[in-house]
Amino acid sequence: MPGLGLGTWQNEAPDTCAESVRTALEAGYRHVDTAQIYGNEAAVGRGIAAADIDREDVFLATKVWIDSLAHDDVLESTEESLEKLGTEYVDLLYVHWPAGEYEPEATLSAFEQLRESGAIDRIGVSNFEPSHVETAQSVVDAPIFANQVEMHPLLPQRELRAFCADAGVELVAYSPLARGDVFDVDVLSDIADDRGVSEAQVSLAWLRAKDVTPIPKATGADHIRDNWASLELELTDEEVGRIDGIDAERRQVDPDFAPAAW
């Protein structure tokens, strides 16, 4: 899985979405993340098709929404996602939340069936706490490849990060810029000023230092390229330590159906 991806949440205008995906791929990105609930899978597919990049070189992920997590609905909705995306397979398919129609054995047996048929390469989960991941691992033979969760310097996910590392599950960070809040954090601004980069680049570099794959949302070419430039930034241990010392637990995403444990 490429170490930096393009998030497409709220990128709903079809032409804008397709152009942002094309721009990102031609700038160097090879990881694109979408979801059924985003309503933009067709536009994402158009963007991939428009880029001068082979499909096999793009790591494409989407997510099954909570009202389509019954066994047969997983199969049907994933087929619809593939049609919209214009592809025969996705590299990673996530359970979007452990909520709604999610039932571990029934849901994940459908994911395993899709993997066996070649419609998906890897099984992922999203917004799962350790107990949810353990249950998922216990009911499916294929590995749980990744857990996508909110993570940024204001929500460092220390316990979950340690658990996933021990469990062999990749961690993918959505909202890695805390929906813009990272620009108002003095520690991040000080490091950004010292290094001549943006707070966004500092936040993304910090996530990479934690072996986490960030998928920042961006629509404009300038932001897409600024986020990509974060790959050139290697933070020092001292800088990572300063960011680790930020005293905050500020969650941006907390719907009514979110896991009670968090």
Inter-residue contact 53 to 59 (CB < 8 Å): no
Angstrom distance (rounded) from CA 61 to CA 232 = 24
| 3-state secondary structure at position 33 | strand
Residue 31, strand partner residues:
59
Q: Taking each helix axis as running N to C, give the angle between helix 237-244 and helix 199-209, from 0 to 180 degrees, rounded to the nearest 10.
A: 100
User: For the sheet containing 6-7, what is the strand order?
Assistant: 6-7, 31-33, 59-64, 92-95, 123-126, 144-150, 170-174, 212-214
Count of C-beta atoms within a 10 Å radius of residue 22: 18
Q: Which residue in the list 38, 94, 102, 174 is annotated as catalytic?
A: 38
Burial 141-155 (b: 16+ CB within 10 A, else e): eeebbbbbbbbbbbb
Count of C-beta atoms within a 10 Å radius of residue 237: 8
Inter-residue contact 226 to 201 (CB < 8 Å): yes
Could you tell me the two tokens for 262?
């968090």
Catalytic site residue 38? yes
Concatenated DSSP letters for 159-222? HHHHHHHHHT-EEEEESTTGGGGGGG-HHHHHHHHHHTS-HHHHHHHHHHHTTEEE--B--SHH
Point out the residues that are catalytic.
38
